[in-house]
Each structure stands twice: as structure tokens, then as C-alpha cells.
Chain A
């Protein structure tokens, strides 16, 4: 396959300039995940208000797929209800495991090429797992050091 199918410009661009890449001083939920095969690491900071994700950010290091996916994720999840977030993750998992793009969500669909690289699916879902774990996790007070 053509490499630009895997590394779509959305992915390259979000890897070079990740969005919401910072600690979130107002976060009340935090979770980390790592991918031992790749060495990817991601920490997601979430500010939950009621049943809504009021704000979300991440920090991490790793391959382009993992970092770009987390970056796109923060943009899609901000302002969503927790139920909407779960549904969106479900849709994203379908995209990266089955390669079926979602016409209505071009940014998430940029990751459809990942399904041809089974070893990299975990890279793409790492940030999402951390985010879902964070919103379901214990409430914490973020430290900003």
C-alpha cells in the first residue's frame, strides 16, 4: 500500500503540531496508558462537569499514530457527554480495525489505513483507552507542579 494511506496529512500534521498538548490545571480526572511494544506513552487530563467533558488535554511521547490519534481525540471529545464519548470511541475502533471510513467524520476517518497494520491498532487506540479510563476513574485533583 501507499504510505500516505496510513500516514494521512491529518496524522502527520497532528503529530508535528499536537493540539491540546499540555497539562490541564482544571482537570479532575487523569489516566495514563502505555504501549509496551512501541514504547508509546500518553497521559490524558479531563475536566468532567456533570455528565459532560468540559475540557480535555494530553501529554505523551511515541509514534506518530499514537500522538496524532490522541490529538484528534481531544478535539472530538471536548464538550461531549460521557455517553457520546463512548459511542465515538466505538466508532473509532471500527474505523481502525475494519478500515471503514465514516463519511461524517473525516478526521477520525484519517486513521482508517491503520487497519492494514494490525501491530499499530494499539497505537491508535491508546489515547482513547486512557480517556475512557479517566472519565470512569476516581476523581482526582490535577497537580500542575
Chain B
């Protein structure tokens, strides 16, 4: 069952009713789920797609000639084609299914081992999630390449691009950066970064974990070489993700893991690789996950990602503007346009106490380093509190958040 096609302004209240989990109380209060940056909730359409797959079509893919195997394979490959359309990839062969963003980034880093040598460099930014930093640290260790960083400007969390060309000219082979920062909410100028990297012959890697379920993405227009995202952060199931790779590049790359599915022929002492993308998908994949992700992509595009971006971006800008009047607050990320999240610290109230306080009111927030420890160290904080929004959040929930954060500030700061 597809959700209704929404022509003009979506009926957000009706869409909220598509998410069964939201209809519950936590500690006696209605659940206000504001931890969407960690993972989003799933609409009934996705849950039903998973159930339908397991109740009717489940079999292994690409192996059997029986009816169910044919159906499972068809569903799995249809999800791949849908993912290609979702990000405007040139062909389904450019879509590799992974466990998530982290695995996609590790796949690239692993496969690039033979391409880097001492003296080469990998460029990342100071706002990286550990997932888009540690794989490059490991690659640097394996190859003797070094890591370079695009700095951020300060609490407003913008990339300082004034020396980007000098950085790119320092033997950089790969440039990895997030489309939206999970800690700051910054929306980075992906197309500009890719264009400037290309002039230096540098391969680009876009971490789209926080953007794929929120913004329209067109990898052809962005002209990136790789782009990775996770199903679970965009209304889809956990355990499935997508790595987009430019086909010409994928063809020349070494495989990641070895096993079934990724081979063309196996001798006792060596093997030849299957075609792209199967070369990168060793073993039985998360078939049900791909089917669920397909349903999620349909669901999001029936609403329209521009409308979703406008909705959760507006909630975040509103929260940012109103939190500014809480005594002792320090807000992070750009004051203007931002992705659907807000991070802050409160004088006298540690994030874990703020999160416990909010949890007792039914509000799910995240407190901690959000997997960006080097970023916070640079800004001189160890932890922040983050509220992150999605299509089902409401203006009334933002009102309640502001009230509860104000109360927490008084309670602890007193």
C-alpha cells in the first residue's frame, strides 16, 4: 500500500499517524521523539513491507531458480534500481548495498589501500562523525598517507574554505566530508566542494547519513564520486545502507570482503570477481532491509523531500532562535539555514542530566559527544545536548522542548 500522493502542502498531522511507535506515553507523558539524528522511526508502510516480504517472498537471492528465489531477487534488484532513482545515479550498477554509512565509508577506505602511498594525503573536515574519520585514519596508517583537515570557523560551525585550494594541492587523493553535520546541523556546499576537488583531480566522498532522508539528492548534479547513507536514518530499517560509486571508479577498485555472491569463478588458489556492484556485496545481503528501504524511499518521495527539508529545517531554526533566550545557553551551528537539528550546552547543567530531565517529561534527546569528539575538543566542550527533528515532529513539540529546557536550566543552574 503506497501512502497517498500529496500534491501541495503535506498534511503533517495525518503523516504523523503513519508512525505507530509515536502513539505511546513514556514515564506517563506523551512521547516526544527528538533523537532522529541517531535513528528515525518507521512508518507503517515500511513495517508492512518487511512483514509482507517475510510472509510471502523470502528466499536467498541470485542463487535459486525456484519461484521464491526469483521473487526475492527481483525485489532486491528493484530496491537497487529505486535507490539509483532516489539519488539520480546513472545506473543501478552504481548502487552497492551495505549495512549503513559506516560500512560504505570503510569499503572505500579499504579498497583504496593499494592506491595510496607515503606522501599522499586524505582531506577531511573538523566536523567529521567518527565514521568518516576513523576509516581514513586506518587507511593513512596502512599506506603512510597523511590526514589533512578543513577547519571550521567556530561555534557557528561553517567550513572555512579560504585555504581549500591550497589544501587540495597538497597531494590530496581523497576528500571526504558530510553533507549535513550531525553535531552542528551545518549544510555544506557539496556541489562547490566537489567542483573544486575535481579541478585538483581529487576523488570526493560525501557522507549523506544526515541528509539522505531530508534533502533531495542528485549525485549527477553534485558530481561526487562516492556518497554513503543509512536506511535507518531515513524511515527505513536498520542494517541496510547504500554506497553510491561512480561506475568507472568502481570497475577499477579492489573488492572489500570475499565470499559468495562477489565472485565470477573460484579455483582452489584464486578467483575472479563478479561484475559491479556484486563484486562489493559478499555473502547473503540484507534482502528484507533492501525491501524495507524501497518502501521508505517511496514513502519519502510521496511526501516530497523538499517539503520534508522545509518542515524539519523550520522546526530547527525556530528551536535555535528561541533557545537563545535560555540563560546560560551556548548554541552550536549556523544561525541561519541549517539541517533539522540543534546542539547546545547549558552552564551548570551537564548534557546527561538535561537528557534525564527531559526523558522524565517524555522527550527523547541525545546527550554526549555525538561521535564527533575532535570537533568538541576544538570548541572547548566535552558534550552537548542535541534535539533532532523529522517529518512527524510538530511546532507544539518545539514549544514543549523550549519550556522543558528552560526548566532544566533553572533546576540545575538554580
Chain A residues proximal to chain B, CB less than 8 Å: 1, 3, 6-7, 12, 15-16, 37-39, 61-65, 117, 120, 123
Q: Are B412 and A39 in contact (CB under 8 A)?
A: no
Q: Which residues of B contact A61 (CB under 8 A)?
A: 382
Separation of A38 and B368 alpha carbons in the complex (Å): 7
- Known contacts A1-B360, A3-B360, A39-B368; is A64 also within 8 Å of B414 by CB? no
Contact of B382 among A1, A16, A39 (CB under 8 A): A39
Q: Which 10 A-B pairs have the closest CB atoms?
A: A63-B350, A63-B352, A64-B353, A38-B352, A39-B383, A63-B353, A39-B382, A3-B360, A62-B350, A3-B357
Q: Which residues of A contact B360 (CB under 8 A)?
A: 1, 3
Q: Which residues of B contact A12 (CB under 8 A)?
A: 411-412, 414
Shortest beta-carbon distance from B367 to chain A in Å:
8
Shortest beta-carbon distance from B99 to chain A in Å:
23
- Of chain A, the residue at the smallest CB distance from B407 is A3
- Known contacts A1-B360, A3-B411; is A16 also within 8 Å of B348 by CB? yes
Separation of A7 and B369 alpha carbons in the complex (Å): 23
Shortest beta-carbon distance from B55 to chain A in Å:
37
Separation of A105 and B383 alpha carbons in the complex (Å): 33
Q: Which residues of B contact A120 (CB under 8 A)?
A: 352, 356
Shortest beta-carbon distance from B382 to chain A in Å:
5
**Besides A1-B360, A6-B356, A39-B352, 8 new A-B residue pairs in contact (Cβ under 8 A), listed by A number:** A1-B27, A3-B356, A7-B353, A12-B411, A12-B412, A38-B368, A63-B353, A117-B356
Chain B residues proximal to chain A, CB less than 8 Å: 27, 348-353, 356-357, 360, 368-369, 382-383, 411-412, 414
Q: Which residues of B contact A39 (CB under 8 A)?
A: 352, 368-369, 382-383
Shortest beta-carbon distance from B28 to chain A in Å:
10
Q: Enumerate 26 A-B pairs (CB-CB under 8 Å) in ascending A order.
A: A1-B27, A3-B356, A3-B357, A3-B411, A7-B353, A7-B412, A12-B414, A16-B348, A16-B414, A38-B350, A38-B352, A38-B368, A39-B352, A39-B368, A39-B369, A61-B382, A62-B350, A62-B352, A63-B351, A63-B353, A64-B349, A64-B350, A64-B412, A65-B353, A117-B356, A123-B352
Q: Which residues of B contact A7 (CB under 8 A)?
A: 353, 411-412
- Of chain A, the residue at the smallest CB distance from B354 is A63
- Of chain A, the residue at the smallest CB distance from B357 is A3
- Of chain B, the residue at the smallest CB distance from A123 is B352
Shortest beta-carbon distance from B410 to chain A in Å:
11
Separation of A37 and B369 alpha carbons in the complex (Å): 10
Q: Which residues of A contact B351 (CB under 8 A)?
A: 63
Shortest beta-carbon distance from A66 to chain B in Å:
8
Q: Which residues of A contact B383 (CB under 8 A)?
A: 39
Shortest beta-carbon distance from B327 to chain A in Å:
15
- Of chain A, the residue at the smallest CB distance from B412 is A64
Shortest beta-carbon distance from B377 to chain A in Å:
12
Shortest beta-carbon distance from A119 to chain B in Å:
9
Q: Which residues of B contact A6 (CB under 8 A)?
A: 356
Shortest beta-carbon distance from A69 to chain B in Å:
13
Q: Which residues of B contact A16 (CB under 8 A)?
A: 348, 414
Q: Which residues of A contact B349 (CB under 8 A)?
A: 64
Shortest beta-carbon distance from A41 to chain B in Å:
8
Separation of A126 and B352 alpha carbons in the complex (Å): 15
Best-buried of B356, B357, B382 by chain A (most CB within 10 Å): B356
- Of chain A, the residue at the smallest CB distance from B28 is A1
- Of chain A, the residue at the smallest CB distance from B348 is A16
Separation of A39 and B372 alpha carbons in the complex (Å): 13
Separation of A39 and B367 alpha carbons in the complex (Å): 10
Q: Which residues of A contact B356 (CB under 8 A)?
A: 3, 6, 117, 120
